[in-house]
Structure 1
């Protein structure tokens, strides 16, 4: 039998969006049982087991509404207080490590705050603190930074009609490396193994143009990295693309991209339009994302006994990529990028300089 208050409370639990699904199901079970429905019929009606219906029916009879809440779980009470957690977090962020160390370790922090190493490690994981890691960053000093960001992001999000947008860059100093001993293949319970030392057989550079619309790549390896090699690659792009469309090329500020010879060639080929990223902003050129794929999926674990073998391997990988290309999609607007950088600068001391 339910009182009016109990029935209203159970109905609220079944309808309220913030109620947990478990609590809502328990309330439905009690309401169905209060209508005189047997346990087996309630189980079929609600799609639960008969034992579950019997359990919550009995809990409600014994403790009424309080019986539908989860009971405290067994186990030892918590020993690590909030004050101890706060002390670890504050010390990690604000205090210098002892003995002139460059960063805290779990052991040095445990000694400083009087906890064990495992507790410190758990606190750091919970708050995402990683004193042993450091990332690189660099703010652009380009006086036209905002204009260039809007220009390039505009090409990504709203490319010109009847034109191609190509992200162009060079992956320089690709090394043909060979290990001093054969690579041991992967075996069950053992990864592939290679020697830590290697033999250099020379370097080459890869000039690449990523088509934003299709994800295909125009690639060309060059032994040197001068304006002559860039001119050769521009001619390759000119031949590999339809002659009746304009080409918008996104490049960085490398010196060879702005030589008089390049300017003269562009004057004779007016369908080429160059858009330069701000200084120290290579992250804005989406072809860098493709270079990361090339490095992770091909170059990092490959061995080559000559530069020619490296170039042939890279060419074959590009052909395989172009057979099933995956275009990269830019999602952030220029305003979102600028707002993010402004908020970051606000957290940096003396950011005005």
Structure 2
């Protein structure tokens, strides 16, 4: 009598299992291994033998037997691979926790922040290991950001007022962001600057001659980006009043003037308030305390510093800041409506 082999345990699927296996088997690109296992179980559920299933799907006979047994024992969960143990961790979790906690809650004795070397000396780990732990947890002890929380009780009202002017400026009016950039040093290098050449950067001497300091008064037009500017030795209320007179002469008389400025003391003295009262077309809008970032002229001054003042070249101020506004200077372009 020929051998019939070991009898095959019938494989019966529920409607829910069949629907799930059909969905898995139709995966076009991802998880193709799981898709093939689902196809094996679906064909087995039709009553086919392991040999017929292996032939129909082009897989090894032992593969069919393995996943048939796994499904009968664990059902759908048996078709999903478990996480492989892999190489055991070389660093205990408590040591990783020690590095993270020390980085967040402590500082080294003779420094303001941890370095990889100092943390390695403290923890007994290598510098590369400390670096990997910091990268994993997103820690950068060498970096520090600054922030400022305004304590102005009218913070929301002032922000809405200023931002409203930016988005919806009044008709027949010009909106100017006003501020002073003080303590600008006028420096001359002790020797002429050597120009840049192929393969060689521009070179300048390390020493310089001081020619005093100056203050830049600027009014930035949010409509067209033009700037009214003046240079003064100081930035007192007296100089600010002179700058207001310059603005008054520059802006066409038929337009109102909305000034956005910060809470610096020289902007709100009795003399300034009296001048504004005599010029009713001027309207002053103060930014919230500690919120200079909302004033567009601050961004303009920052861009100017990065582009022209950082290198500290010869005749710094004269080269990049226009002189006082003259009567014959072209009038500002104004956004209407």
TM-score greater than 0.5 by the shorter chain: yes
Alignment length, in residue pairs?
269
* Alpha-carbon displacement from aligned partner over 1:164-196 (angstroms, at most 9, x marks no partner): 221110111111122334444445555434344
Structure 1 residues 106, 287: closer, same or farther in 2, change over 3 A?
A: same
1:173 to 162, 183, 191: 183
Q: Return the index of the structure with the highest Cα Rg.
A: 2
* Structure 2 residue aligned with 1:9: 24
* Structure 2 residue aligned with 1:315: 322
* Structure 1 residue aligned with 2:229: 219
- Alpha-carbon shift at residue 282 of structure 1 (Å): 1.7
- Alpha-carbon shift at residue 275 of structure 1 (Å): 1.1
> 3-state SS of the aligned residue for 1:291?
helix
Cα separation, 1, equivalents of 2:261 and 2:314: 29
- Alpha-carbon shift at residue 100 of structure 1 (Å): 4.5
1:229 aligns with 2:239: yes
> 3-state SS of the aligned residue for 1:104?
coil
1:243 aligns with 2:253: yes
Residue pair 1:176, 1:303 contacting (<8 A) in 2 also:
no
- Alpha-carbon shift at residue 235 of structure 1 (Å): 2.1
Cα separation, 2, equivalents of 1:112 and 1:273: 61
> 3-state SS of the aligned residue for 2:181?
strand
Structure 1 residues 159, 199: closer, same or farther in 2, change over 3 A?
A: same
- Alpha-carbon shift at residue 276 of structure 1 (Å): 1.3
* Structure 1 gaps, min length 5: 15-21, 31-56, 66-71, 326-353
Structure 1 residues 312, 104: closer, same or farther in 2, change over 3 A?
A: closer
* Structure 2 residue aligned with 1:257: 267
> 3-state SS of the aligned residue for 1:315?
coil
Cα separation, 2, equivalents of 1:130 and 1:197: 35
1:276 to 262, 278, 286: 286
* Alpha-carbon displacement from aligned partner over 1:222-255 (angstroms, at most 9, x marks no partner): 2222223212221222232232222211111222
- Mapping of residues 1-353 of structure 1, within 5 Å: 8-11=23-26, 13-14=27-28, 23=30, 79=90, 83-97=94-108, 99-187=109-197, 190-305=200-315, 310-315=317-322
> 3-state SS of the aligned residue for 1:219?
strand
> 3-state SS of the aligned residue for 1:89?
helix
Residue pair 1:209, 1:287 contacting (<8 A) in 2 also:
yes
* Structure 2 residue aligned with 1:18: none
Residue pair 1:204, 1:311 contacting (<8 A) in 2 also:
no
Cα separation, 2, equivalents of 1:184 and 1:105: 38
- Alpha-carbon shift at residue 221 of structure 1 (Å): 1.7
Cα separation, 1, equivalents of 2:138 and 2:20: 46
Structure 1 residues 259, 133: closer, same or farther in 2, change over 3 A?
A: same
Structure 1 residues 59, 216: closer, same or farther in 2, change over 3 A?
A: farther
Structure 1 residues 110, 206: closer, same or farther in 2, change over 3 A?
A: same
Cα separation, 1, equivalents of 2:181 and 2:265: 15
> 3-state SS of the aligned residue for 2:322?
helix
Cα separation, 1, equivalents of 2:25 and 2:209: 74
- Alpha-carbon shift at residue 292 of structure 1 (Å): 0.8
Cα separation, 2, equivalents of 1:58 and 1:178: 83
Structure 1 residues 194, 312: closer, same or farther in 2, change over 3 A?
A: closer
Cα separation, 1, equivalents of 2:208 and 2:251: 40
